[in-house]
Every structure is written in C-alpha cells, then in structure tokens.
Amino acid sequence: MAVALPMESNPETMNKYLSKLGVSDKWRMVDVIGLEGEALSWVPQPVLAVILLFPLSDAYESHRHEQENYLLKKGEQPPKDVFHLRQVLSNVCGTIALVHSVANNTNKIDLHDGLLKNYLRDAEGLDAAARGALLENSVAILDAYKEIMQSGNADGNEGEVINNHFVTFIHKDGKLFELDGRKTFPIDHGETTPESLLEDAAKVCREFIKREPDNIGFTVVALVPNQ
C-alpha cells in the first residue's frame, strides 16, 4: 500500500503537482481570498472547480451521516456523468480533490499523456469505491507529490495524519455538485451554470464555515485559466 503525504492548500504546490500529473499549463489553481462580493470578482473566469479545505470535526461527521442517511432513504443514485471516487488512504484527500477537479472537466482541460490520463483511462466504468482503490494502488501519482515536497524541502512526515479535509465543487449538467471522498455520493446542491459556479460554491462554503463557528482553518482555491 502506498503512503501519502498530507497536501498543502497552496496554489503554487498544487500547480506543480498538476503539471507532474500531465495537466496543461493553460489552467492553474489560485487562492480565493474571500467568499462574498468583490473578493469573488477578483477570481479569473471561467472557474472550472472550487476546492475547500476545512477542519475535520464532530460537526462535519454528524452532518455527513445525516446527509448520507437521508440520501440512502431517498434511494439516491450517483449521477452518471460525474466522476467521483471514494477515499481509501489517509492524507490523500488533496490528491482526490485535484483529480475530481480535472476529471470532471476533461472536455476543457488538455491532459498530456502521463499519470492522470492513464488513471482516468483505467478508472473508466468503475464505481467510486473501485476508483478509490485504483488510486490507492497508483503509487506513481502519490509519489509525484512526495517528490515536489521533498524537492522544495517542505516539512511533512510520511504517514502523519492531518485533521483537515478537502472537498471539490464542480458544475455538471446544470448542477452544482460537492465531491467528497468520504461520502458515498456526489452531493447535489441545486442549479448552477459555468458562470455562477464560483458564487454558488461560495454559498455552500459559507455553510461549512457556519457549522464551525469556533474553527478558523478554512481555505479556498479555484481552478482557473492561466492568464
């Protein structure tokens, strides 16, 4: 089994990782410095994905269980066109968030031959659990991040469990989906458009923050054109 390093919510590091995975340099991650008004207007458009980093907590776990039980009782089925994978390893949620961001936008993002293109090809037709297991066994994908961290002399201990978590928000077929490797299903947050994805995702991010009034460990980044 591969061992993963915890990912930083750092656009520069994420962009180096995306490049190693084979993502075209026409796209990049940037910080979203605020979740309302003018701060959102500073983010380049179009936004293809929004990633939220937040502290894992009892409030999150309680909300996750309630949400999943509700969807299971409803008989919810995963949307066919959304690429979602389940988290198997600790510390791999950052990689999953990036994979979710790119995999659901392959109609816009040029992927060079390499690690991520191969993974997505092999994951085609698999369910979320099998996609997670496939990523767990994709040692080269996880090692690519380790190489970046080690080359930058960054601090990080293998196997160290960090109590933070990444989730991704994407637009697909007119809907805003939250993709969380700890959840069984993509979460449908209602209607959105490519133009309003950032604003609509920001609303959901604000709900995460509202549930955690005593926590300040929230950061947001977005996948945007490299202008």
Q: With a threshold of 0.85, does the pTM exceed it?
A: yes
Answer yes or no: are the C-beta atoms of 168 and 201 closer than 8 Å: no
Predicted local distance difference test score (pLDDT) of residue 77 = 80
Q: Which two tokens mark 208?
A: 């995460």
Q: 205 an active-site residue? A: no
| Model confidence at 154: pLDDT above 60 | no
Where do the DSSP E strands lie in the chain?
A: 27-31, 49-55, 164-172, 175-179, 187-191, 219-225
- The one catalytic residue in 93, 100, 171, 205 is 93
pLDDT at residue 71 in the model: 84
Sorted by where each begins, the domain ranges of the chain are: 11-225
The whole-number pLDDT of residue 5 equals 66
Report the length, in residues, of the chain: 227
- Cα–Cα distance between 136 and 115 in angstroms, integer? 13
Model confidence at 206: pLDDT above 90: yes
- What share of the chain has pLDDT > 90, as a percent? 68
SS3 content of the chain, % helix, strand, coil (to 5): 40, 20, 45
Instruction: Please confirm, yes or no, whether 165 is among the known catalytic residues.
Output: yes
Q: What is the pLDDT of residue 159?
A: 47
- Which one of the listed residues 84, 100, 165, 171 is annotated catalytic? 165
CA distance 211 to 29: 26
How is domain 11-225 classified at the CATH fold level?
Ubiquitin C-terminal Hydrolase UCH-l3 (3.40.532)
Q: What is the pLDDT of residues 87-104, one digit of tens each?
A: 987 779 999 999 999 999
The pLDDT assigned to 186 comes to 95
